[in-house]
């Protein structure tokens, strides 16, 4: 039995005021007093809300009801992936073409005009490396059908001498002997920032690079001139095609004295770029004075 006073409050107009007073108290009650129980009050009514949401989904299907496994969705996703691939392909193709253009420009600038050379050039992609080692031969997708002949100089990155076309020239594919596999390369060493035009080029230290078998070269330089790490080795070897003259081939990575020869120093040179790391290469085909084509003289 409720006390008489409470019963008195729960009748008629007094009940309304009692409820309003309770509502006002709860309205301004702190969160810590409400949190333990008010959210629980909602729990029994949650299923009722599903009625509204299911009706809404009937009227206007929501994104959540979108079936990702439907055939239309799978087909659209496949289409998107194809378009994405085409887009990336075109971007990569543009990058490759830009590299080719840069390479051809660099080659023609260097070999044409004042060089008095009658040269042709063809571009090729590096399609394979030597699976037996990182410093083996590489294959390019240009062959005799493209005018490639054995001994032609191969450049990457525009002006970096990467090697020579070997005797293994197919109709559509050729093998390139990397510069690190050549028996030796005659070169001169120039400062990385370029040589002083006021000084004769003959004073630039000369060196004969010999492969170390580790993908680098070594050379003994007998020169009183300054030799420092970072200097660039440029081809001056008369045995190589004329188009290779002046091309960059490597960069000094170590300089050490030779005890037996106080005025000489031993240097180690690493390739600036290797053919196996390049995407494309330029093969320069020189026409000899006798009308034929060929490589090293």
Partner 1 sequence: MRWSVHLLAVLLAAALDAGLGGLFEIGSIRASILPSVVVFVALTAPKRIVLRAAMAGGLACDLFAPTVLADGSALVVPGPHILAFALGAAAVVPLRGLLYRQNPVSNAAAVVVFSAFAALGWISISIVRSAVLGSAVPWWPASGVGELLVQLMSALADGVLGLVVFWVLTRTKPIWGFESKTRLAPGMAREGL
Q: Interface residues with partner 1 (CB under 8 A)?
A: 12-13, 15-16, 19-20, 23-31, 34-35, 38-39, 41-42, 45, 48-56, 59-60
What minimum distance in Å lies between the beta carbon of 42 and partner 1? 5
Of 31 and 116, nearer to partner 1 (C-beta) is 31
Of 24 and 201, nearer to partner 1 (C-beta) is 24
The structure tokens listed for 172 are: 């559509």
- CA–CA dist 121, 20 (Å, integer): 95
Residue 68 neighbours by CB under 8 Å, 6+ apart: none
Question: Are the beta carbons of 285 and 148 closer than 8 angstroms?
Answer: yes
Of 25 and 279, nearer to partner 1 (C-beta) is 25
What minimum distance in Å lies between the beta carbon of 20 and partner 1? 6
What minimum distance in Å lies between the beta carbon of 281 and partner 1? 59
Of 56 and 287, nearer to partner 1 (C-beta) is 56
Of 57 and 167, nearer to partner 1 (C-beta) is 57
Question: Are the beta carbons of 121 and 108 closer than 8 angstroms?
Answer: yes
DSSP 147: T
- CA–CA dist 151, 168 (Å, integer): 10
Residue by residue, DSSP assigns 12-47 as HHHHHHHHHHHHHHHHT--HHHHHHHHHHHHGGGHH
Of 29 and 222, nearer to partner 1 (C-beta) is 29
What minimum distance in Å lies between the beta carbon of 1 and partner 1? 23
- CA–CA dist 28, 23 (Å, integer): 9
What minimum distance in Å lies between the beta carbon of 9 and partner 1? 14
Torsion of CA 250, 255, 257, 261, to 10 degrees: 10
- CA–CA dist 23, 270 (Å, integer): 84
What minimum distance in Å lies between the beta carbon of 92 and partner 1? 45
């Amino acid at each position: 039995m409720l006390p008489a006073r409470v019963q008195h409050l729960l009748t008629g107009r007094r009940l309304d005021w009692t409820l309003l007073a309770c509502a006002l108290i709860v309205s301004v009650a702190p969160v810590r007093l409400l949190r333990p129980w008010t959210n629980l009050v909602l729990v029994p009514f949650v299923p009722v809300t599903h009625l509204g949401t299911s009706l809404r989904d009937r009227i206007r299907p929501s994104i959540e009801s979108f079936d990702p496994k439907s055939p239309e969705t799978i087909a659209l996703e496949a289409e998107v992936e194809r378009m994405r691939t085409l887009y990336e392909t075109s971007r990569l193709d543009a990058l490759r073409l830009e590299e080719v253009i840069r390479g051809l420009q660099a080659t023609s600038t260097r070999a044409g005009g004042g060089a008095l050379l009658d040269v042709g050039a063809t571009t090729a992609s590096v399609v394979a490396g030597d699976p037996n080692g990182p410093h083996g031969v590489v294959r390019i997708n240009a062959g005799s059908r493209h005018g490639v002949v054995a001994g032609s100089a191969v450049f990457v990155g525009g002006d970096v001498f990467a090697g020579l076309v070997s005797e293994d020239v197919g109709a559509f594919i050729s093998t390139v002997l990397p510069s690190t596999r050549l028996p030796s390369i005659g070169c001169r060493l120039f400062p990385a920032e370029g040589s002083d035009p006021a000084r004769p080029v003959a004073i630039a230290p000369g060196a004969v690079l010999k492969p170390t078998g580790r993908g680098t070269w070594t050379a003994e330089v007998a020169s009183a001139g300054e030799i420092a790490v970072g200097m660039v080795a440029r081809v001056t070897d008369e045995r190589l095609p004329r188009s290779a003259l002046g091309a960059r081939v490597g960069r000094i990575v170590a300089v050490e004295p030779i005890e037996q020869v106080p005025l000489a120093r031993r240097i180690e040179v690493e390739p600036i770029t290797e053919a196996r790391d390049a995407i494309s290469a330029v093969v320069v085909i020189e026409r000899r004075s006798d009308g034929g084509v060929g490589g090293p003289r």
